[in-house]
Chain A
Amino acid sequence: MARVVVDVMLKPEILDPQGQAVANALPRLGVTDVSSVRIGRRIEIEFAGEPDLDRAREIADKLLANPVIEDFSIKVEDDAKAEVA
C-alpha cells in the first residue's frame, strides 16, 4: 500500500475556536478532566507506485498546509515511519 498520511495542525500560537467549542462541550458529556482540545486535518495520499515522501512533502508544503498558520507532519502509513516537517 503506497499511502502517505499528512497531518495538518494549527500552529500552537494560533487560536483554535473549533477546538475550544469542543472542549467547552465536554462537561456536558460528564468529562471534566480535559484541559484543551485542538482540531487538525488528516490527509491520505495514495501514490500509484512507491510512496514518495519528497513529493508528499512538496504537496503538503505548497497546498495542504498554510505555513503561516499551520504545521504538518508526514508518515508512510505501513511502517509508521514518521518525520516532522
Chain B
Amino acid sequence: MRIGVVTFPGSLDDGDAARAVRLAGADAVRLWHGDADLHGVDAVVLPGGFSYGDALRCGAIARFAPVMESLIDAARGGLPVLGICNGFQILCEAHLLPGALTRNQHLHFRNRDQWLRVESADTAWTNSFETGQEILIPVKNGEGCYVADQRTLDALEAEGRVVARYIRGNPNGSQRDIAAVTNEAGNVVGIMPHPEHAVEALTGPSLDGLGFFTSVLRALAGASAGASHAGGHQ
C-alpha cells in the first residue's frame, strides 16, 4: 500500500507521519502542496505544523493549494484521508469535515501526553481499536478548540461521527471534549492530537498512535478484497 504524506510550506510533522506510515508496513509517498498529482496513492495524511504560517486562519490558505483541489475530489470519492492537527484544521477549512478549530479557550499553547477515548472504531483510520478503548498520544496545539453549532454537534453524536474524545482533562476547551471527528462515509478523519508521535517506545508515550496507520491498511485491504469478491463496500 502507498500512503501519501503532504508537505505544505510550514508543515512540521510530515517526516514523523511518513515514518509512522512505514512502521505500520506501508510505503510513504511524499506529496508536495504545489503538485496537484496524487501519484496514485491509496490514502493521504495531512500532517501537523503551521502551513503558510497560519496566515489568516489555520489551514485557510492551504485549503486552496493545488494538491488540495485533487484531494478534495478524491476524498469525496472515498479516498481515506487523515488530518492531524493542522491537517484537521485544513480538512475543516475545506469543508470535508464539519466545525472549526479555534484558539484554545485558555489562550495557552498546550503540549503534553493526552488520554483519549476512541468513540468510534468504524472509520478507515480507527478500525484497529476497540470502541471505548483508552489511548495515550501527544497533543500540541494553540488553536485546537473544536467548535460547531449545537445541531451539528448533536448530529455528530447521533451518527457516531465523534471518533475520539479527550478524557482526564480537556486540553483546549473543545466542545463536548471532541478530539477527532469523521465524515459521513468514515473515510475522512480529523484528529487534533498526534498519533504519529506515539509509534515508537524511544520517543513516544505509547505505541497507541500506530493503530491509526494500521487501521487504514486494514480498511484498504478489506476494500480491495471486497471489490474482488462482492463489488466493494466503502
Point out residues on A near B: beta carbons under 8 Å. Answer: 13-15, 17-18, 21, 63-64, 66, 68-69
Contacts and interface: CB of A to CB of B under 8 A. Distances in A.
Nearest to B93: A66
Given A17-B105, A21-B107, A63-B64, A69 B93 contact: no
B85 interface: no
Interface of B: 56-57, 60, 64, 92-93, 98-100, 102-107, 147-149, 173
B114 to A, nearest CB: 20
A63 B56 contact: yes
Contacts of A69: 100, 102, 147
B99 A17 contact: no
B97 to A, nearest CB: 10
Per DSSP, chain B at the interface is loop
Contact of A17 (B64, B98, B100, B107): B107
Given A21-B107, A68-B92, A14 B147 contact: yes
Contacts of B148: 68
A13 B105 contact: no
A68 B147 CA distance: 9
12 contacts: A13-B149, A14-B102, A14-B147, A17-B103, A17-B105, A17-B107, A21-B107, A63-B60, A66-B60, A66-B93, A66-B100, A68-B99
